[in-house]
Amino acid sequence: MRCMNALRTSLAAALVVGAWATVGLASGPASAATVDSAPATPRSTAGEAPASAGLLAAMRQDLGLTESQARTRLAAEKTATALQDKARRAAGSSYAGSWFDPAAGRLAVALTDGRRSAAVRALGASARLVRHSARQLDETKARIDGLAAPAGVSSWHVDPKANRVVIEVVASTAHDNDVRTFVERARRAGPVLVKQTPEGPRTFAAGTVGGDPYYTGNVRCSIGFSVHGGFVTAGHCGQTGAAVSGWDRSAIGNFQESSFPGDDYAWVSVGNGWWTVPVVLGWGTVSDQLVRGSAEAPIGASICRSGSTSHWHCGNVLATNETVNYSQGAVHQMTKTSVCAEPGDSGGSFISGDQAQGVTSGGWGNCTSGGETWHQPINEILNRYGLTLHTA
């Protein structure tokens, strides 16, 4: 078998994280009323934050936080993640979405019925009154999903803070007839907010470059997370049955299942002397991170990503259940982040604390000028293929 250093290099695309960056969420509608805006102390202590010394150092550098502030934020995000399902149940039919509020240090919950606010506050979350329920917004998005989107439409998602379905269009095409027609039809579907983005989405696969983690033919991508029997990655990196070789060009296995577009995920079998470990590599920038689960981080939480090209980078969760309109076709149920990525990073890991989040799909921009990146949530992949995440 290969030595551990070779294993660590080969897994650098599969077990990856990011450095941290702060990006604020868009403000909600002027009509939204704050029911409870008082700051809250996280229920978890700062010492419980799942972070290595290297990760805390990266947060100090990129976010301008002290070590104590970084630990406090991670602990607050962990608490918010655990509260999401409880808050949804407490809100009942008035639930209109939730997100992590970094300024308050806790989960914020949107409600259409103020009578539910006390139950939500009792959990340690804040409450905000809005007009449209999550069900209404999801139904609006589903109707928009049924429309044929032109290339100038980048993506659309439910934004609980704005209490609208946000449609992003490429700025240079905002006045094109086909884009304007799509937006007009979308407005008839329900409450919509249109924003502009500087670029359209693209996947982050790359041609062959020596010394990178894994290849399918002349395409280089990044391993996502270890599962029992293999690893998960992006579907656009290879079709079912395609052979996969590692950083040293030795055989790893084959794509067992792959889906793209519609979805963007796949899993690859591991054999031929290769094995899996529940680790996200730090690429020498931060300490390696153990993977302990896959609890989904809320909108607004910090999140990190790493891949075989750009290595460690971080940001915030901007949206969930977003439909992304690639040139190859739309991909559904994606999570959008403010993390940058570059060609070759496709398939790599998104992680929040010690919780696996998903595999890199695509985005716009780069890690010099900045940009946004989408990932396909890990739990959807595990459920689709009946896989078990390899955890510590």
Selected catalytic residue, list 10, 44, 132, 236: 236
Residues 6 or more apart from 320 whose CB is under 8 A from it? 157, 158, 296, 299, 335, 336, 377
Q: Which two tokens stand for residue 79?
A: 């608490």
Separation CA 350–CA 141 (nearest Å): 25
Q: Which two tokens stand for residue 337?
A: 């982040």
Q: In what order do the strands lie in the sheet with 251-259?
A: 206-207, 219-221, 214-216, 243-246, 251-259, 265-269, 230-233, 226-227
User: Is residue 308 annotated as part of the catalytic site, yes or no?
Assistant: no
Instruction: For residue 389, give the DSSP letter.
Output: B
Separation CA 39–CA 281 (nearest Å): 35
User: Is residue 264 annotated as part of the catalytic site, yes or no?
Assistant: yes
Residues 233/225, Cβ–Cβ less than 8 Å: no
CB burial of residue 377 (10 Å; 0-12, 13-18, 19+) = buried
Selected catalytic residue, list 159, 264, 345, 354: 264
Half-sphere exposure of 285 (CA within 13 A, CB side): 24
Residues 6 or more apart from 175 whose CB is under 8 A from it? none
Q: What are the respective helix, strand and coil percentages of the chain, to the nearest 5?
A: 25, 35, 40
Q: Which two tokens stand for residue 179?
A: 């884009």
98 has which bridge partners? 109
Catalytic residues: 236, 264, 346
